[in-house]
Amino acid sequence: MRLIFFLSVIVIFSCSKVDERKKNPNFIIFLVDDQGWSGTSLQMADDINTSKNLYIETPNIERLASKGMRFSRGYSSSPVCSPSRYSIQFAQSAARLKMIRVGMNTRHIDHNKSITIPKKLKEINPNYKTAHFGKWGIDADPSILGYDYNDGLNGNKEGGFVNNKTQWETTFSDDPKKIYSLSKKAIEFIEEHEKNGDPFFLQISHYAVHTNIISKIKTHNKYVSKNKNRKTDHPGFAAMNENLDDGLGIILDKLEELNLNDNTYVIYTSDNGSVPTIPARKYYKETINYPLSRGKWDAVEGGIRVPFIVSGPGIKKNSESKVPVVGYDLLPTIIDLAGSKIKNLDEIDGGSFKDILLGKNNNIKRSYPGIVFHVPYENKIALTRAHSSIIRDNLKLIKFRNNSEIKLFDLDNDLGEKINIKQKYPVISTELERLLDDFLIKFKSLKWQEGINWKNVDVRELDSFHK
């Protein structure tokens, strides 16, 4: 009897210990690469039929959305890769971080910042276990940012990227873009820490659907014989998207198997919009991102509006929010859902959208009234002119830096950004321009200079944005 009593005490103690460790929710960020807003079979906006792709099949993205909320005005923090990834981790805009493009000098950035997603979660509960697997794109080991488990400083090359014309040709693999390898790592992490009773934060940063185009041959062949549509007619690219969707399905299946859905938030989004065309070309009228204009590299809707889905406890199933949210909102939202707050909002640019997720209100409290994007470079692919933009509610202002040209758009009625309403609303235009410039001046964001070598030059040696 004494033995039975002793064993019972151990079991009760162990269970209470597990319960104590699991009192906070789990979080998974499923970050994909170069996937456009209208590049999946999920209709992102209920009232916009063209906000889905009729050629590409992504049933697991649809499955995730059926369990949670779509943000039809979800934005990446930048129209290019690394700036968005930095922004998610630090909850600061790419403009504030002076993070402009891939491969630039980043000695000006303090990678030991105290505010990162893993570090703040561990402040809430030191039992949180954190992991990052896949494309990193940040010039510091993930452990410095607080990740317990990671696979290093991975970038495009680890995903099979080669910067030449072959990137647009389809090749085949049983593990395209390491989709299934990353899923396996994620599953092992989830299983281990669920067994140990640890709350966890996991970010899976996929190399897909960035070029090179790699897919399973069986999936590719399915699309070869499938009727194509105006948006996408590349079977390899479509197949790669479906294979990526398989990776999401593996994670969702495991959460169901372990009965974790009631305590796990899953966030799905992309680092920027899709490339405008496959293969890439300098000139184009309509892009893969239709009905949005242009694509990756530009701070127009095609470059920054992305799939943005959140599922988890308390979120209304198959719901849509039209409130603009951005990648740097993720940190304060996760911390809020975990039971805490970022005390000094001036340290970040993002705001929590927890209340939107839980159906309480549509308010997001940010330190600055607008979402700012900054593209201080010129190339033959982008709009060719350095530009910045700001979004507030349904209005978006774009300012070109070479001649201060202003364009103002009503995104509710002009999704393709074709009708400049600056002259119709001069007061609003002036106000938004002031807000945009004030932000860039405050944080000494970079301005375009001819002949800049972003890779070799410390940006602290360059002129910052000023009037």
The residue with greater pLDDT, 21 or 17, is 21
Note if the bond before 209 is cis, omega within 30 degrees. yes
Q: Are 447 and 464 in contact (CB under 8 A)?
A: yes
pLDDT band at 16 (very low <50, low <70, confident <90, very high): very low
Q: Mean pLDDT, to the nearest integer, of 66-83?
A: 97
pLDDT tens track for 178-233? 999 999 999 999 999 999 999 999 999 999 999 999 999 999 999 998 988 767 78
Q: Mean pLDDT, to the nearest integer, of 418-424?
A: 97
Domain boundaries, the chain: 25-357, 371-461
The closest of 72, 68, 102 to 86, measured between CA atoms, is 102
Phi and psi at 218, nearest 5°, equal: -65, -45
Q: Are 48 and 415 in contact (CB under 8 A)?
A: yes
Q: Are 60 and 250 in contact (CB under 8 A)?
A: no
pLDDT band at 464 (very low <50, low <70, confident <90, very high): confident
pLDDT tens track for 326-376? 999 999 999 999 999 998 889 999 999 999 999 999 999 999 999 999 999
pLDDT the model gives residue 19: 52
Place of tokens 């009503």: 410
Phi and psi at 89, nearest 5°, equal: -70, -35
pLDDT tens track for 227-249? 887 677 899 999 999 999 999 99
Q: What is the DSSP letter of 463?
A: P
Lowest average pLDDT, out of 165-179, 204-218, 381-395, goes to: 381-395
pLDDT of residue 457 exceeding 90: no
The closest of 189, 187, 170 to 129, measured between CA atoms, is 189
Phi and psi at 305, nearest 5°, equal: -80, 125
Read off the tokens for 160. 């099979």
pLDDT the model gives residue 130: 98
pLDDT band at 20 (very low <50, low <70, confident <90, very high): low
pLDDT band at 378 (very low <50, low <70, confident <90, very high): confident
pLDDT the model gives residue 12: 47
At 324, the amino acid letter reads: P
Superfamily of domain 25-357: Alkaline Phosphatase, subunit A (3.40.720.10)
Q: Are 319 and 356 in contact (CB under 8 A)?
A: no
Instruction: Mark 38-60 as b/e (b = at least 16 C-beta within 10 Å).
Output: bbbbbbbbeeeebbbbebbbbeb
pLDDT the model gives residue 13: 42
pLDDT the model gives residue 231: 75
Read off the tokens for 178. 């390491």
pLDDT the model gives residue 402: 85
Strand partners, 392: 395
pLDDT band at 1 (very low <50, low <70, confident <90, very high): low
Q: Are 272 and 22 in contact (CB under 8 A)?
A: no
pTM, 2 dp = 0.94
pLDDT the model gives residue 440: 95
The closest of 19, 37, 109, 29 to 300, measured between CA atoms, is 37
The set of residues, in sequence order, having a beta carbon less than 8 Å from that of 434 and lying 6+ positions away, is: none
pLDDT of residue 441 exceeding 70: yes
In percent, the amount of the chain with pLDDT more than 70 equals 94
pLDDT tens track for 271-287? 999 999 998 887 777 88
Alpha carbon distance 101, 119 (integer Å): 25
The closest of 235, 210, 231, 211 to 223, measured between CA atoms, is 235
pLDDT the model gives residue 327: 98
Alpha carbon distance 325, 344 (integer Å): 20
Q: Is 108 exposed, middle or buried, given 0-12, 13-18 or 19+ CB atoms closer than 10 A?
A: middle
CATH number for the domain whose boundaries are 371-461:
3.30.1120.10
pLDDT tens track for 101-113? 888 999 999 999 9
pLDDT of residue 15 exceeding 60: no
